[in-house]
Amino acid sequence: MKNILIGFCFFLNGFGLSSLYGQISGFVRDTNGQVLPHANVLIKGTTIGTTCNAEGKYNLNYTGKFPVEVVYSFVGFKQKTVLINFPKTVQDVGLEEDFAKLEDMVIVADREDPAYAVIRKAIQQRRYHRDQVNAFQAKVYIKGIIKMDNAPKKFMGVEVGDLNGNLDSTRKGILYLSESESIYKRQGREDIKEIMVSSKVSGRDNGFSFNQASTLDYNIYDNTLEFRRQMLSPIASDALLFYRYKMLGTYVDEDQKIINKIKVIPIRNADPVFAGVINIEEDTWAVRNFDLFMTEDASKISSFDTLRLIQQYTHLKKENVWRLFSTAVTFNANLFGFKANGKFTGIFSDYQINPIFPKGTFNNELMKVEEEANKKDSTY
């Protein structure tokens, strides 16, 4: 049967029908069978991809030639590439923890941790990576969800109720669930234009989401990242005054690139700084991915216990540049007894690098919503 299917694909190729519509789906788990929520799934060498949902399930639509290589990745795990031969494929994948190795490093007491040398190189190359692309256009898919973990029955003596049917008997529920797709254009440091072409909000047939691509377009190569407070990047020009670093180890990826896994540690918790892990590629000193968080003391955002920022970058081989593939922002909040959590995930795909935008593209209208954006059905 397998030979018959392969022969059929060659038959289609002969008639110029090798570009087929495909749907690749499955689950991404670790080697112990635990699902990896929001793992990245990417067509190799492109920015066509998706992320898994909270249950580790993914659906990747792809129109193009088969077979195709699909890259599965998750921060803290070795990425894995799988050859997909047929357009309709169910592919479950297990990822191994990266287990960064330190045995080849000699760390002597009272000597500087080897992470500092890597960070200095990354700081030196910061502007190069930041300014490598002056302009781009991308398609951005965003999914946002806000959940109530617990709500009081009364607030200031007034019955809270079920919040218009959003809470169940356990005082939990989904307050906001939306999906959107936008065409996102950016030029230089300031010029931004976003056109929302599709918007879906659960429970509201004609609702428009408040998803916005620009709010997820964080650039780790900028000195600061804008939250309510300007948070200092771990590779900012003066980062060594605010952070300590510890080399967790190195590992070699599938392309035989050495990746440095570095722990980021605030010197003072009340400073506008992150904590977490950042992975930096040897020689190019490009950031491959990171998982950083900020506490309420650092962010100064009251009632938010933690804010977490996770980003994955991908290499566009044709243009030889690294670009943002996915951003996930998560939070936990507790305000007047209302406990909630949320997550907003953005997938940046179909990049056009350094396009020539028509005159007048960028004006005072930063965000435009197409009239039919909230009328597209679930098939779209």
Q: Where are the domains of the chain?
A: 2-95, 129-375
What predicted TM-score, i.e. pTM, was given to this entire model?
A: 0.81
Can you give the pLDDT of all 380 residues of the chain as single tens digits? 444 444 444 444 444 444 567 889 999 999 888 888 878 898 887 778 888 887 889 988 888 888 889 999 887 788 889 999 888 889 999 998 876 665 555 555 568 899 999 999 999 999 999 999 999 999 999 988 888 888 888 877 788 777 777 788 888 888 888 889 999 999 988 899 999 888 888 766 655 677 889 899 999 999 999 887 899 999 999 999 999 999 999 888 877 889 999 999 999 989 999 999 999 999 999 999 999 999 888 888 777 778 899 999 988 888 888 899 999 998 888 877 888 888 899 999 889 999 999 998 998 888 888 877 776 666 65
Contact indicator for 104, 143 with CB cutoff of 8 Å: no
- CB-based contacts of 131, cutoff 8 Å, min separation 6: none
CATH T-level topology, domain 2-95: Immunoglobulin-like (2.60.40)
Q: Compute the Cα dihedral for 79, 23, 35, 39 and give only its sign.
A: positive
